[in-house]
């Protein structure tokens, strides 16, 4: 009966597996990127306010749109947009990684670490590419 | 009566989870993730195409059928995706019952608000007035 104790409260239950506490896990890039995925998802959740503001401003008229453009052109606005771009790309790549895992592929230790590295290197590079194209489309930095 | 007594706690929990919605959310999270990939690429392309343009040009582009449809799909898909995602985060970290209910409710309000406000703006850009 001793083995019944772990995770069991009362009643006729099988012991359920318990997951060890957070500090128990060994640090790895996979571990950090997993945290990043949740954090970026959380930040993007509120970041969508920027997207909504953009659409509502466009629908409201030239003045509202000018306010939006002024804010996005400010240092804070640009930093938020840069963060949003990176967050969106990072979370998407992290999401693709999750979808690959869902097919039971890429779960070996070396593969996991490689995928984690690909997410962070990929997200930073793609963010730079997007911003360079953005500035080119605007005809250079302003 | 009898049934309720025979049921172990596991039976009630199985397939439900802390938000009482079960694996449906897990699956819908996957569906919205897959749909989110092309839609996110499209959003980035549209945003770049609009950089530095006048209000009139922005309205014309955002209101054109293809762009408006893509934007609507993006919003609806991502709002559903992030609603499930935030719910998952809430049930992981908020354990006090009343607080959890309030947070879950706030999540729903926020997501509906974003979805309706954005969809309304896109439709107005398309149909004018
Ligand atoms: C603005 C856009 C997006 C927002 C606001 C958003 C938000 C979120 C949130 C809040 C979560 C929950 C995080 C967690 O439980 O750890 C999540 C999870 C997830 N997201 Fe997104 N997301 C967005 C775009 C995308 C895209 C484009 C993809 C495409 C692959 C994606 C793939 C995923 C996946 C696979 C998960 C589940 C991860 C898991 O099971 O732990 N997301 N998202």
pLDDT tens-digit profile of B13-50?
Answer: 555 666 666 678 889 999 999 999 999 999 999 999 99
Per the CB < 8 A criterion, the answer to whether A74 and A123 are in contact is: no
Whether residue A105 is predicted with pLDDT greater than 50 in this model: the reply is: yes
**Mean per-residue pLDDT, A8-37:** 76
Average pLDDT, chain A: 88
CATH architecture of A30-137: Up-down Bundle (1.20)
Whether residue B105 is predicted with pLDDT greater than 60 in this model: the reply is: yes
pTM for this entry: 0.85
Cβ-based contacts of A136 with chain B (< 8 Å)? none
Identify the pLDDT of residue A1. 42
Best of B44, B49, B68, B73 to mutate (most A CBs within 10 Å, chain A): B44
Whether residue B102 is predicted with pLDDT greater than 70 in this model: the reply is: yes
Identify the pLDDT of residue B11. 53
**Mean per-residue pLDDT, B44-62:** 95
Pairwise CB contact (< 8 Å): A55 & B71: yes
Residue nearest ligand 1's atom 33 by CA: A95
Q: How confident is the model at residue A15 (pLDDT cuts 50, 70, 90)?
A: confident
Q: What number of CA atoms fall less than 13 Å from residue B41's CA on the CB side?
A: 6
Identify the pLDDT of residue A2. 44
Q: How confident is the model at residue A90 (pLDDT cuts 50, 70, 90)?
A: very high
CA distance to A60, B31, B54, B63, B81, per residue, from B67 (Å): 18, 22, 17, 7, 21
Instruction: Give the pocket of ligand 1 (CB within 6 Å).
Output: A 37-38, 41-42, 44-45, 48, 88, 91-92, 95-96, 98-99; B 29, 33, 36-37, 40, 78, 81-82, 85-86, 88-89
Per the CB < 8 A criterion, the answer to whether B49 and A135 are in contact is: no
Whether residue A12 is predicted with pLDDT greater than 70 in this model: the reply is: no
Give me the interface pTM, i.e. the ipTM.
0.84
Given 1.20.1300.10, 1.10.357.140, 3.30.565.10, 3.40.250.10, which CATH number is that of B22-127? 1.20.1300.10
């Amino acid at each position: 009966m001793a083995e019944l104790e772990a995770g069991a409260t009362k009643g006729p239950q099988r012991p359920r597996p318990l997951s060890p506490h957070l500090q128990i896990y060994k640090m790895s890039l996979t571990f950090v990127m997993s945290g990043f995925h949740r954090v970026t998802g959380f930040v993007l959740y509120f970041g969508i306010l920027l997207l909504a503001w953009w659409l509502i401003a466009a629908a409201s008229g030239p003045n509202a749109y000018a306010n939006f453009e002024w804010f996005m052109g400010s240092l804070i606005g640009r930093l938020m947009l840069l963060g949003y771009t990176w967050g969106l790309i990072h979370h998407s790549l992290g999401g693709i990684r999750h979808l690959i895992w869902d097919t039971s592929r890429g779960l070996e230790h070396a593969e996991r670490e490689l995928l984690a590295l690909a997410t962070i290197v990929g997200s930073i590079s793609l963010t730079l590419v997007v911003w360079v194209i953005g500035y080119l489309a605007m005809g250079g930095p302003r | 009566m009898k049934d309720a007594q025979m049921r172990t706690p596991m039976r009630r929990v199985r397939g439900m989870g802390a938000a009482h919605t079960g694996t449906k959310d897990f699956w819908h999270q996957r569906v919205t993730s897959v749909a989110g990939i092309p839609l996110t690429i499209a959003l980035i392309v549209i945003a770049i195409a609009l950089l530095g343009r006048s209000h009139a040009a922005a309205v014309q582009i955002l209101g054109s059928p293809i762009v408006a449809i893509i934007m609507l799909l993006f919003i609806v898909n991502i709002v559903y995706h992030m609603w499930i995602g935030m719910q998952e985060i809430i049930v992981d970290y908020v354990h006090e019952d009343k607080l959890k209910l309030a947070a879950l409710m706030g999540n729903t309000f926020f997501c509906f608000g974003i979805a309706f406000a954005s969809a309304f703006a896109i439709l107005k850009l398309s149909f004018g007035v």
